[in-house]
Structure 1
Amino acid sequence: MTDDVLVVDSLVRRFGDLTAVDGVSFRIAPGETYGLLGPNGAGKTTTISMVAGLIAADEGTVTVAGQPMTPRTTGPKRHLGLVPQELAIYPDLTGRENLALFGRLQGLRGAALRGRVEEVLSLIGLADRAKDRSKEYSGGMKRRLNIGIGLLNRPTLLILDEPTVGVDPQSRHAILESVEALSGEGMAVLYTTHYMEEAERLCDRIGIIDSGRLQAEGTRDELVRLIGGVDTIRLGGTGDLAGAADELRRIPGVERVETERRSAVLTVKDAPALVAQVVGTAAAHGVTLADVEISRPDLESVFLHLTGKGLRD
């Protein structure tokens, strides 16, 4: 028995001459949100289809809650909540009726079913529209209902495949807030996306996938360090910037300081950890600051470094 909710080991899946997934391995712990970040066609959906037991792997294994997962196994699937990229709802049923139907399919009955349906409606922000047929919902509301269906059985592992594709900004924000709350409650989440900002906001660890291969994985900061990323602090203001620059260069972690007439640009190892000392040193040496800007390498830079192309190419 493993402490990890999900263990994916050396998965391979071929479609004829195409190897869609090529040796992918990763783990997810309880309460952790793990992101698979990559462009369309990278192998994300094929990977989660094997994780959910929808298709068989040609090579490799998947273990969910300590149990082997294959298309023929049923035990581990009880631990899953799957939210597919395509909507899986009935348009002529109300939101409440959709949840009740899928709840019955998952074995809920009576008061337990009714109570769970109301809990989920509240969680996904559709309690006030529960009596409306889902075909009357906006795209974002349909996506939230889709997520609610995946939550009915209180899964140990929730799989979300590109859940914000095609939704308006307000609904997207609501979906991301819901996902953040789920991991806080101890649920493990596998989240696929091609949006860098979603991965940075939601995911404790990120696997960068392209051409069916996991190119790298780690926290955001660990991935940025792979490319030797450094941060930039820009100080804008007046006073003796050139004189302050000499003192700023003595701060451990400051690699370079370049000055202009009304600004100084510092290249540093860890801007959030150094910014207070940098600002204090500049002020102590006669600089009146008007603004401070921090720039950090992002996952787009990492993806470009690892694959030679942009995330949305």
Structure 2
Amino acid sequence: MAMRARPMRLVLLLLLLVAAPARGERLRFTLDGHAREVLVTIPEHLPDPAPLILVLHGVLESGPRMATTTRHRFDALAAEQGFVTAYPSALHRVWNVGEGPGAARLVPPRDDLAYLDQVIAAVDTQARIDRDRIYLAGFSQGGIIGLSYACKRAGVLAGVAVVGMTLPAMLRDDCADAPAFPLLLIHGTDDPIVPFDGGRIISGWGTDMTLLSHDASIAFFADQAGCTGVGAVTTRDALDDGTAAERSDWAGCDVPLAGVRITGGGHKWPSGGPDLPFIGRATFEFDGATEIWEFFATLE
């Protein structure tokens, strides 16, 4: 999770207290002298080759914690639908976004794009992966890494979903130079950590970065994909949970593009965590993992 300065220490303490183990197998390897690992769920009776979804956590979290944050729904869907789920872990729980002063100050230095390359290779040794059906779902700072990987490793990912994050201004040039890719952006209007309307957030000790707003991020990718405008709009407000979800699917695009605005939603995974009280509401109008998998499944 990217965050503002005031709650940072409390977030760190609480996340360490609520961290819980997840199901699955841990694959370990060494990269640039650092011991790295990834939590992998490989169901039985997979297709050969099988789709892969990389699920990336926010800052101060971990791969196992992300499995808990998503309520293990990706694992359940993997068994039902036949795909592999991988939960990478950032070194010391902080991703290197690869650019900007925050990345330059990270100790020890690490290349997390290369790490994701290695994650895919490691998973492929355990279950043969369909290289045309590798997807990524990122939450908060994991969403930044997801967008960076999609834009800088063009053609590796078949689709991307980002929850609780918008496009960092520093990635605009990389993404503008990359081919358009299928994208689903999900964000709460009352997010106190990553502002829905964009602005500056902390990107490391003593540094910050500028984010586009949710709407400006969607507009950027819509322009890149040659979309002609918003097409179908679906509203979900069946529960008395203080939120409502509006999904807009863009029309005339070279690749699928959709955005979900969660009115009243905070910095939480839809129908999930993190289980912290001061980061706003989670919507229960839809399940985040199901929404994302159904988006990816339409691409096949």
Q: TM-score, normalised by structure 2?
A: 0.26
Larger radius of gyration: 1
Q: TM-score, normalised by structure 1?
A: 0.26
Larger relative contact order (Cα-Cα within 8 Å, sequence gap ≥ 6): 1
**More helix by proportion, 1 or 2?**
1
